[in-house]
Amino acid sequence: MTEKEWWIYRGPGSAEEKIARLAEQRPPWREFTGTQDPQYSPPETCGPIWHETYRRGEGYVPDVAEKDAVNTALYLRRPLLVTGKPGSGKSTLAYSIAVDLKLGPVLHWPITSRTSLRDGLYQYDAIGRLHDANLRNLQGVPTAPVDPSIAPYLRLGPLGTALLPQNKPRVLLIDEIDKGDIDLPGDLLTVFEEGAFEIPELARVAAQQSKVKIGTHDDPQTQVRVEGGRVQCRSFPVVVLTSNGERDFPPPFLRRCIRLHMEPPGREKLTQIVRQRLGLDTTVDEGYKDLIEAFLDRRIDGDLATDQLLNAVQLRLKGAWSDSGDREQFLEAVLQRLTGPSSA
């Protein structure tokens, strides 16, 4: 597939060259002025957490529509809202972006019905702080007029960490946002527009203690400076929001997102996915093709996820379920429909 010259993601050049081109294309209305903490370094492209991002993103096969949407979001510094059925690869796209541009481990924020905006920005262990203060009182340790010990009880969440001022953006995956509270998309608008947020617990003591170091989502032991209780990004993060289409979003939220709908992959794309994810030699390994046909046939009557096909091919390659008489039982075991007549 031919690369388009304007593409950053999956475009021409090295990761460093692509990030440099992206920095040159910043819209004037999306400039951010955060000051980087010179003593803080985000995780590099090595170590266990990077290897997990690499494992999930390396074999991803995006089509042209996906590349166009991702690059549009990159250029405009806007969140990418990805909709589609479960198992269509929405979340994996975020890992693919991180791998292609070498942006470090993906910051993952899974959404539930109880999730609030603050959960993504930071966590404050008020109970732990109170417990420790009571313990100090029992031990006869005097309490300072301004308690400087708030920092150990604060930790940035995935969204808060993504907004730290850095020269390179981080990739933030906000997973299944449609499962969240109805007000969550609206609560995100100001943060997305300003690329900044305030930590009230630090802002209240900023006059006495303007600079505080707190932990990040990547590692509570990795300390980063927060000044005046405010976090302001320098490079807007690559934000990928996924939705299974369980509810609609308000127009102001949609207006600020680049939208991408992912259709279930067809035969050609499934073949590419199987080959790349499992490292198959296209001139030798042919045993998976009938499983792709079975997958497509069964998907007519109910949804299936792509990873179910990968599981089936992996079992085939390892010699499991090798008896020809077990074929139907094998398909029922590994290609069980997520919806439809046999999904219950």
In a domain, 10, yes or no: no
Same domain, 119 and 168: yes
Choice among 126-130, 147-151, 229-233 with the minimum mean pLDDT? 147-151
**Position 257 pLDDT exceeds 70:** yes
- In tens, the pLDDT along 81-93 reads 999 998 889 999 9
- In tens, the pLDDT along 138-185 reads 777 655 544 556 888 999 999 999 999 999 999 999 999 999 999 999
In a domain, 340, yes or no: no
Of these ranges, 43-47, 123-127, 192-196, 310-314, the one predicted with the greatest mean pLDDT is 192-196
Q: Which residues have C-beta within 8 Å of that of residue 155, sequence separation ≥ 6?
A: 122, 123, 214, 215, 216, 217, 220
Same domain, 274 and 240: no
Q: In what order do the strands lie in the sheet with 122-124?
A: 122-124, 154-156, 211-215, 223-227, 230-232, 196-198
Amino acid occupying residue 238: V
In a domain, 4, yes or no: no
- The b/e string for 80-111 (b: 16+ C-beta within 10 A; e otherwise) is bbbbbbebbbbbbbbbbbbbbbbbbbbbbbeb
Question: Residue 137: pLDDT band by 50, 70, 90 thresholds?
Answer: confident
What is the Cα–Cα distance from 288 to 316, expressed in whole angstroms? 8
Write down the pLDDT at residue 141. 62
Of these ranges, 45-54, 91-100, 298-307, the one predicted with the greatest mean pLDDT is 91-100
In a domain, 1, yes or no: no
Write down the pLDDT at residue 130. 78
Question: Residue 55: pLDDT band by 50, 70, 90 thresholds?
Answer: very high
Write down the pLDDT at residue 146. 42
Higher pLDDT, 245 or 138: 245
Q: What is the residue-averaged pLDDT of the chain?
A: 90
**Position 344 pLDDT exceeds 70:** no
Q: Which of 120, 261, 129 is nearest to 191 (CA)?
A: 120
- In tens, the pLDDT along 259-300 reads 999 999 999 999 989 988 888 765 556 678 899 999 999 999
Q: Which residues have C-beta within 8 Å of that of residue 233, sequence separation ≥ 6?
A: 32, 34, 162, 163, 164, 165, 166, 195, 196
Same domain, 230 and 211: yes
Same domain, 257 and 311: no
In a domain, 319, yes or no: yes
- In tens, the pLDDT along 103-119 reads 999 999 999 999 999 99
Same domain, 94 and 234: yes
Instruction: Give the other-Cβ count within 10 Å of 245's Cβ.
Output: 11
What is the Cα–Cα distance from 29 to 32, expressed in whole angstroms? 9
In a domain, 7, yes or no: no
Among 262, 280, 313, the domain-final residue is 262
**Position 258 pLDDT exceeds 90:** yes
Quote the tokens at residue 338: 């997520």
Contact 240, 53 (CB under 8 A): no
The enclosing H or E element of 123 equals: strand 122-124
Same domain, 166 and 234: yes
- Name beta bridge partners: 185: none
Among 210, 244, 262, the domain-final residue is 262
Same domain, 247 and 280: no
Among 262, 278, 310, the domain-final residue is 262
Same domain, 293 and 162: no
Q: What are phi and psi of 147, to 5 degrees?
A: -75, 115
Same domain, 109 and 187: yes
Same domain, 27 and 93: yes
In a domain, 3, yes or no: no
Instruction: Give the other-Cβ count within 10 Å of 21's Cβ.
Output: 16
Calculate what percentage of the chain has a pLDDT beyond 70: 93
**Position 8 pLDDT exceeds 80:** yes
Same domain, 211 and 311: no
Write down the pLDDT at residue 341. 65
In a domain, 87, yes or no: yes
Write down the pLDDT at residue 283. 54
Same domain, 274 and 257: no
Domain count, the chain: 2
Mean pLDDT, range 121-147, rounded to an integer: 71
Range of the domain at 289: 267-334
CATH number assigned to the domain comprising residue 188: 3.40.50.300
Q: How many CA atoms lie within 13 A of 224 on its CB side?
A: 30
**Position 206 pLDDT exceeds 60:** yes
**Position 135 pLDDT exceeds 80:** no
